[in-house]
Structure formats: C-alpha cells, structure tokens
Structure 1
Amino acid sequence: MTESRALILIDIQKGFDDPVWGARNNPQAEANAARLLTHWRANDWPVFHVQHLSVTPGSPLNPTGGAIDFKPEVTPLAEEPVLTKNVNSAFIGTDLEDQLHKARITAVVICGLTTPHCVSTTTRMAANLGFQVTLPHDACAAFTGNANAGWRASDGPTAEEIHTAALDHLNGEFAHVCTTDEVMA
C-alpha cells in the first residue's frame, strides 16, 4: 500500500439504523470499515469522511430530526476532512476531487453505506475521474428498501442479492472488489 492511496468512508451514519431502510446484509460492515480506518490512521495515510445530509423531509439522514452523526466506530478525528453531500456521489457539490489531486492521491479505497447507492455512485465517478478504486465488499452493506413502497412484490431480492449485484456491476470496470483483509495485506 502506498501513500498515494486514500480511504474514503461513505455515509456510515446512525440514520442507517432506522428500520425504514428495510432488511440489511453484512452486519460486520461498520466493524470492517473501522478496521480499515484504524489501519489507515496507524500508517498516517489520508482519510476522507463523507456525510449524507438529506434534503428529503422526514429522512433518517435529514439534519432536521434525522440521525446524521457518524457511527462511533468511525467518528472522524478533528484533523480528518469531512465532506457533506446531499446527492449520491461524494464528488458532487464537494471538493473531494480537488483534495485528492492536491494530496497526489491516485488510488482510493471506498467503503460504507449503501453499496448500490452512494458507494456505487462514488466508485463509478472515482473511476471515471481516473482514480484506481478498491472496494472491500465486507466493509459495505445494502438494504432491501422500504417494503411498504408498493412497487415491488414482497418476494423481491434480498439485501445480500442487492449487495452482490451492485458489486458485480462495479467489479472489473470501475473497481477491484476484494475483502478488508486483502486491502490490509
């Protein structure tokens, strides 16, 4: 692992504990993200925290009444950059790309919540912007979505199937999908 690689933690926030998101896979995602964060800090490598601030009233990630705080295991240190966004990509409406270029970062490790949404969108954009992307699948998670949405039969895909499909769409073209242990080796 070189110093030209940064860790980007996407939306690992308390609001994702709300049952509105539906069933979830990979309950170890936050613990694996925390392992990566500890590893990065121990090596004094660049870390970027991304926080979703929803503009949707009533969202568990809306600053008014939502649970926007980072989960305790990945709480940023004072000197670690925190970028806020209200769209899926961590590159839209933030200076993430500029900060990465200024730090001469050429490769990123992305993890967080949720795999088919903000993790996927940020991964795709990072690759399109020319960054080499590594995606530890066990440091990400997906949800089934709101079962009461009414548009999908109750026998729709599981959270694990959604997670796997999102990873399959990213692997090879946009990112190298692997495990947390492989990233840390």
Structure 2
Amino acid sequence: MQRGMNDPTAGERNNPGAESNIQRLLAGWRNTDWPVVHVRHNSRTPGSPFWPGQPGAEFQPALAPLSHEHVVEKNVPDAFTHSGLERWLNVRGIKQLVIVGVSTSNSVEATARTAGNLGLDTHVVADATFTFAKRDYAGTYRTANEVHAMSLANLEGEYAAIIHTNDALTLLTAFRPYPLQSGEFSAY
C-alpha cells in the first residue's frame, strides 16, 4: 500500500473502503502479535511513481510497517519472485496467508497464484483489495468492479479462498498463537 496507488492518473478504481479494511486487519494482526509482511514495489521504469526514492514508492503513513515488521522488496508483480518471501515463510513454518492490497488484477493475483501453487493455505480479502478499470484483450472497456470480480474468480478455489474483512478477523481466533512450536502453522 504505497502512496503511488493513490495517483489519480491510475484511473477509476473500486472498493473505496479498502484502505479502511486494511487498517482494521493490520490492527487485528498487530493486536494478536501475528507476523505481518509488507510488500514494496520498486519499479524498473524511470519516471514511474514507484521508482525508488520517489514519494510514490513510500508506504501510505496509516499503513506503514512498524520497525519489527518484515518488508519484502519486489520489482515484478509477484511478491515471491526474487524476494526471499518463500524462504522467510518457510523458516518460520508459516503455511497460512491472508493477502490484502492492490492491485487485485496484478500483484494480488500474481502473489496469490504463487502462494497457492506453493501449497500455502491462501486467503484473499475481497473488500481489502482493489484494482483499476481497463480494456480487455478484445478492446472492451471493463469497470474496476468487473476487473476485480474476474480476478477474484480466477483465484477462487484453485489458488485461494476469497473472504471478506470480518471473515479474516475471525481467522485470528482460529489460527494458533505465534511464535510457533515445531511443526505448527501461522498466518500473516
């Protein structure tokens, strides 16, 4: 959740309450001392709002990591590719993920697909993610809600469970406490 995601040139988006839901989830995870991983996209394209050192590459203040929270740096949509995230999770025995953020049709979908392919118990929070309107391959304009719904449909079942914020907060009581004992699982 970097500042560049609020750039008006990104176009029409959906889920205007996504940031509030992410804040609720972040507070819930922090209150139960569950591990949290923040992902920062560093663009390889000069002039991008996510180019390192630009204001857009910084985290939104309300969603910024605490000093003890893990930050993954990536430069492709998938948070697992060339980032060390898989190893970080494996070292801690974490097998369950709750994914929030942006954009549903890009980084969220790419990351959830990899997580599912790795055999992780993956949850994507539909109302704590958002995306932008775009034209499909045939040139038909698709609203942000349509793009979002299709991305979630692509993930549902095969790669992840699609849930909502209240469901994710309920998971906090179902997951076992952190730190882990040998062979146990956790979530972030």
Choose the corresponding residue for 2:159, options 171, 174, 183.
174
Instruction: For 2:51 and 2:19, locate their aligned partners in 1 and report how far apart those are by CA, in whole Å.
Output: 21
Unaligned segments of structure 2, at least 5 residues: 171-188
Choose the corresponding residue for 1:157, options 142, 151, 155.
142
Provide the alpha-carbon RMSD of the alignment: 1.5
Letter in structure 1 aligned against 2:148: H
- Cα drift, residue 65 of structure 1: 3.6
Q: Deviations over 1:27-63 (max 9, x none)?
A: 1111111111110010001110000010112211112
- Cα drift, residue 66 of structure 1: 4.8
Is residue 2:39 matched to residue 1:54? no
Compare 161-170 and 18-27 and name the one that shifted more. Answer: 18-27
Instruction: For 1:121 and 1:177, locate their aligned partners in 2 and report how far apart those are by CA, in whole Å.
Output: 15
- Cα drift, residue 106 of structure 1: 0.9
Contact 1:83-1:96 within 8 A present in 2 as well: yes
Contact 1:111-1:136 within 8 A present in 2 as well: yes
Contact 1:52-1:68 within 8 A present in 2 as well: yes
Letter in structure 2 aligned against 1:58: G
Letter in structure 1 aligned against 2:117: N
- Cα drift, residue 135 of structure 1: 0.8
Equivalent residue, structure 2, for 1:69: 58
Instruction: For 2:96 and 2:108, locate their aligned partners in 1 and report how far apart those are by CA, in whole Å.
Output: 15
Choose the corresponding residue for 1:129, options 118, 126, 130.
118
**Residues 1-185 of structure 1 mapped to structure 2, 5 A cutoff:** 12-145=1-134, 156-185=141-170
Q: Secondary structure at the match of 1:138?
A: strand
Instruction: For 2:108 and 2:78, locate their aligned partners in 1 and report how far apart those are by CA, in whole Å.
Output: 8
Instruction: For 1:64 and 1:57, locate their aligned partners in 2 and report how far apart those are by CA, in whole Å.
Output: 11
Aligned length: 169
Compare 56-65 and 70-79 and name the one that shifted more. Answer: 56-65
Instruction: For 1:143 and 1:59, locate their aligned partners in 2 and report how far apart those are by CA, in whole Å.
Output: 17
Letter in structure 2 aligned against 1:128: N
Equivalent residue, structure 1, for 2:183: none
- TM-score of the superposition, structure 1-length normalised? 0.87
Contact 1:59-1:66 within 8 A present in 2 as well: no
Letter in structure 2 aligned against 1:169: N
